[in-house]
Amino acid sequence: MQFHAILTSIALPICLLLTAISPVRAQPPAATKVHGDEAILEMSQAFKSGNSKRLTALLPQVRDHLLEPWAAYWELRARLDTAVPSEVEQFFARFAGSYQEDRLRDDWLLLLGQRRYWSDFAAQLPLFRMNDDREVRCYALALEPLPGGVERADELKRQWYGQREADDACFFAAAHLYAAQQLSDADVWRKARLAMEANRPKVARLAAEIISPAAAAPIDEISKDPTRFLSKRVGAAGRTGKEAVVLALIRLALSEPDKAASLLENHWSVHLSPEQRSWVWGVIGKQVAQRPGSDALQHYAKAKDSDLSDSQLGWKVRAALRQSQWKEVLGATRAMSLPVRQEAVWVYWQARALLKLARTEPDRTAARNLLESIAGVRGFYEQLALEELGRGITVPARPEPLRPEEKDGAALNAGLKRGLYAIQIGLRSDGVREWNYSTSLHSRGGMNDRELLAAADLACQREVWDRCINTSERTKAQIDFEQRFPMPHKEAVLQRAAQTGIDPAYVYGLIRQESRFIMDAQSVVGAAGLMQVMPPTARWTAKKIGLPHFKPYQINERDTNIAIGVGYLKLLLDGFDGSLPLAAAAYNAGPSRPRSWRGQNGAPLLEAAIWIENIPFTETRDYVKKVLSNTSSYAALMTGQPQSLKARLGLVGPRDASAPEPGLDLP
């Protein structure tokens, strides 16, 4: 997580990373406890601590319990290394069709791959329904014989390049395909470059070892001191020598991009190929682009777009947007790989560039077609595309009411029942995984829109709001906005919003992104409750809003959590001139970050969508988009009127130097 160090201080009071949220473990109320729940909970703890003997001892106590498949999975998974194949097959047969069967088959496939038991692996692979494990897929790509040629190599590269850490499977497959001459030296060096760019020098070394030990030898020295490594070399002989220089320049650019640029420009440029130079300039450009007020385009201008990675191109687009260089925006988006180019963010900016540069009606038509391809209510750029086409954000027509038999189908679904029960007794992460599996494409062909709506309705009725929202969001043709944007605790939220003068749609948009309305949500760094308030922020805000007798435990009380969260949000809004994007960014990353991101005196005003896209922290950038998109959707629901996301975004630029400093005295 990017903000661990800051979040522990008062300067970063709020943690909004939904993926990091986990509920405080809650024992089921005495009235709802059933025989075996205590044993299930104890087995969960034993599994986490690796106590296989305790798991085996407890297993008989949960026979016929609703969560027995979980208990049996934990018990066998804990000793899978020593289990005999017949035990595994018996588990598969007994729990056929369940999430636990498929999860154990995933674990078994990984073990078979690690042991190179390829005949057993090949027999199990077609039965793996999820088929969502990158390592399993890499082992499959390494199987003999090697049909598919280029297609197989292309898929391996997609899997391998997409992984940040090293694993046995993808490196084994890469070495296998390299030996079969289906991967080239250039393919392997690309992995090494990507790893070094991601600050994973050990992974870069493993990649280079596929070529030869000599190719990998310099990487440890490069990792420790790239400047010293480069200073000892006069030139670069051969592909291996040149790639070592490329890796050293990449390593240097991560911390000192200006120094790397100087060395590349004044010495190493003549020793490298055009493609190698482009890549290094792309890394330098990407690093510089993440500094407020910098001119990254001067570096990108020395690179060829077709030689850059998608990540490097993304930051070129952002840098070009800051400077209104629409021709560069268009060129960089068009150079992206097809899957990335089709993401809503880059479709939108490519369309905007076409509109800015259009000289003919066919150009304008092409831009409108791009906007139409993403326009809708599903997200930030989809909503902006609607507005570019002259349409407001409105509530879609609600689907026909669910029929009793559709609701019954969801209620009787064994996986959904287990998922909800696990969540009820405090095993949220396990319950969420089973719920997701049961509603996804991995189970019996996947649910259609009506089945997803029924499953979401079941979760809503049980007030398991995160599963209600996430399940409803997956429908394609039938969209139920009231499911996707529920309003629990409505009286408390509306009352506090009215008292502070904040748009309740903004408050709901933030809570939805913060906690998905999980009352006891607790982040790994201590942010708590619906609005994920950090304890130091709670104490500071309580004083500011007139709660002098606030006690730390009260942060978990609903009304106090809402009062403090909304009060803090109001202070942020006042401190950032009422800017919704700036306040949301400050809520996520702390007030000092957006103050620097908005630029220095003399910097131009930017449309907020451009400013948001240039936030250097991926988590904060995505968070602000989601909060503002949520806000527009909630406003459409609450008012029944078309909404404008653009109007909420406004412009962002440096604070007026003559204006008084905001009263936000956080350090």
For residue 142, give the amino acid letter.
A
| Inter-residue long-range contacts of 236-243, CB under 8 Å, 24+ positions, other chains counted | 236/268, 236/271, 236/272, 239/185, 239/189, 240/211, 240/212, 240/214, 240/215, 242/271, 242/272, 242/273, 242/276, 243/189, 243/192, 243/193, 243/208, 243/215, 243/276
Pairing of strands 521-522, 606-607: unpaired
- Confirm if 136 and 154 have CB atoms less than 8 A apart: no
Question: Residue 540, CB half-sphere, CA atoms under 13 Å: how many?
Answer: 19
- Confirm if 530 and 557 have CB atoms less than 8 A apart: no
130 bridge partner residues: none
Phi and psi at residue 355, to the nearest 5°: -65, -40
pLDDT the model gives residue 150: 64
pLDDT the model gives residue 234: 75
| Separation between Cα atoms, residue 453 and residue 468, nearest integer Å | 9
Give the list of residues 6+ apart from residue 569 with CB closer than 8 angstroms, or none.
Answer: 500, 502, 506, 507, 510, 583, 587
Q: What is the dihedral of CA 373, 379, 383, 384, to 10 degrees?
A: -90
| Separation between Cα atoms, residue 123 and residue 105, nearest integer Å | 11
Low-confidence ranges of the chain (pLDDT < 50): 1-34, 660, 667
| Inter-residue long-range contacts of 443-452, CB under 8 Å, 24+ positions, other chains counted | 443/97, 443/99, 443/129, 443/415, 444/97, 449/399, 449/475, 449/476, 449/477, 449/478, 450/399, 450/402, 450/406, 450/478, 451/406, 451/409, 451/410
- Confirm if 377 and 383 have CB atoms less than 8 A apart: yes
pLDDT the model gives residue 31: 35
| Separation between Cα atoms, residue 267 and residue 227, nearest integer Å | 13
| Separation between Cα atoms, residue 531 and residue 577, nearest integer Å | 22
pLDDT the model gives residue 129: 93
393 bridge partner residues: 643
Phi and psi at residue 522, to the nearest 5°: -140, 120
pLDDT the model gives residue 158: 94
What are the pLDDT digits (tens) for 40-73? 999 999 999 999 999 999 999 999 999 999 999 9
pLDDT the model gives residue 445: 66
pLDDT the model gives residue 581: 98
